[in-house]
Chains A and B, each alone.
Chain A
Amino acid sequence: MKQFYTVVLDRFQRLSGTYTTEPYETGWADEAIAFIRIHELDLKTTVEAKIQISIDGIVWLDEGTAFAPITDLGDHFVKVSHFGGWMRILLTIPPEKSCKATLSIALKG
């Protein structure tokens, strides 16, 4: 059977500015879905988010996958494949704005 592991990287976390999840090793997995659960969001706020990959967990590059602009509470996701050994989510919240979010990656392979 395949392996499956969902890691919750941040939970009920108040976020502002640019925020990245902690480096997470994904080399064993073939596919991933990154989830952002928005619990609270300031009025008229759009959260941008994208996937980044890395060779060493230290230097990060855009993988090319981005979330559609997030303007609502609830769950949002992107599917990712061919991500190599490391993955993280980078979120950008507009200046003076914040959100409260839970960030997860579901891995399978």
Chain B
Amino acid sequence: MRELYGYRPLKDIIFADDFDKGPNGWINLMPNFRQDEFDYYPAQTGWTSWGPPMLSSATYGYAGTHGSLHGTYSMKLSTRAVADPVDRFPAPGSQGVAIKRLTHRDRGYLKCEMYYTLTAEQNIPGVGEEAIRSFGFFWDSTDDESRTFYGARYINAADGVMQQRWQLFQVDPNSNEDWGYIGESAPGDTPDEKVTLERGIDTIWLGKRYKNGSTDGYYDIPNSEQKLCYNETPDKINWHYFSLTVDMDKGEYVELCSVNKRFDLRGIKATRVSRYPRIDWLLNPVVFVETDTNRRVFLYVDSIVNSTSLHLDDGEARDQ
């Protein structure tokens, strides 16, 4: 990625990560250690085996090296070959999750763009598109008063049934189902303060799940059905464009772009919860992929750009 061709960032670029230049600070998402010993909170012990990111040449046994959009390497997320039914919480290892950690510089608008592709492991015959349950991107975003998960997820398949629609991170306000987390999750500001995961936090593995791939943590974007390009065999990969723009001042979504489609999301709120100790002004972008069956699936990110601006139209080449 010699320049930002192919991207339409907002005025101030926060980072522009090309994985030909290395891992750029992306690491697997890990649970928190307890404070009294090198062990995890009981509710998080299954969260230690999400697949770590790797620099990938996208190499296949019969195709050879595919490389990336802008060079040789992309960041690949892999799941383990394990899955539970779609209406249960994700099995440990059934997701690959990569996170980068920084902090905000300002309020205003925030935009993520990436070129990615996805495929199933070529260990058995077939295209394998039905093996991919979902993938997506989100920000874990805080200020000194609140915490918000902004993100988009593509629900591809649910127990082998193709779904192929887009969802946003937003808690269903009409559900009374438990979020699914029990006990402590992190150290407080003081030793006596107890912290737990509220509704709207850690949506990728919490929230009641349903047979069609909907969950209490995701809002199904109306009329968002979209068939992605899986090509005709799992060792042929095509790079896709994705972008998500949010308005941090209003706490709502602005726009999702996927390949040729644009979804106007203005007016759709993200779920804002109260402040969490120790993580003021945190800004953590996260990429994830999830398998639908006992087969590894992969998400490759060629490059990813995050940008911000106080105004939408002062740097972005928008059509509207």
Interface residues of A (CB under 8 A from B): 3, 5, 7-13, 22-25, 27-28, 55-59, 85
Contacts of B23 in A (CB 8 A): 3, 5
Q: Are B78 and A22 in touch, CB under 8 angstroms? A: yes
Point out the residue from A3, A10, A55 that lies within 8 Å of B49, measured CB to CB: A10
* Interface status of B201 (Cβ within 8 A of chain A): no
Which of B49, B52, B56, B57 is A7 in contact with, Cβ under 8 Å? B52
Query: Are A22 and B73 closer than 8 Å at their CB atoms?
Result: no
Q: Does B302 contact A (CB under 8 A)?
A: no
Across the interface, which residues of B come within 8 angstroms of A9, CB to CB?
52
Tell me the complex Cα distance, A28–B55, Å. 7
- 30 CB contacts below 8 A, A to B, read A3-B22, A3-B23, A3-B55, A7-B52, A8-B52, A9-B52, A12-B48, A22-B51, A22-B80, A23-B78, A24-B54, A25-B55, A25-B56, A25-B57, A25-B76, A27-B57, A27-B59, A28-B55, A28-B57, A55-B59, A55-B61, A56-B60, A56-B61, A56-B122, A57-B59, A58-B122, A58-B123, A85-B57, A85-B59, A85-B65
1/0 contact trace for B65-78 toward A, CB 8 Å? 10000001100101
For the complex, what is the distance from the CA of A27 to the CA of B48, rounded to whole Å? 25
Asked if A5 and B55 make an inter-chain contact with CB atoms under 8 angstroms apart, the answer reads yes
Q: Tell me the count of chain B residues lying within 8 A, CB to CB, of chain A.
A: 25
Q: Which residues of A contact B51 (CB under 8 A)?
A: 22
Report if B39 contacts A (CB, 8 A).
yes
Which residues 217-245 in B have Cβ within 8 Å of A in the complex?
A: none
> Given the complex, which residues of A lie within 8 Å of B39, measured CB to CB?
12
Q: Does B290 contact A (CB under 8 A)?
A: no
In the bound complex, do residue A56 and residue B55 qualify as a contact, i.e. CB atoms below 8 Å apart? Answer: no
Shortest beta-carbon distance from A45 to chain B in Å: 22
Q: Which residues of B contact A22 (CB under 8 A)?
A: 51, 78, 80
A60 vs chain B, min Cβ distance (A): 12
The reply to whether A59 and B57 contact each other, CB–CB distance below 8 Å, is no
Tell me which residues across on chain B come within 8 A of A12, comparing CB atoms. Answer: 39, 48
Residues of B near A56 (CB, < 8 A) are 59-61, 122
Q: How far is the CB of A71 from chain B (nearest CB, A)?
A: 23
Quote the shortest CB–CB distance from B130 to chain A (angstroms): 19
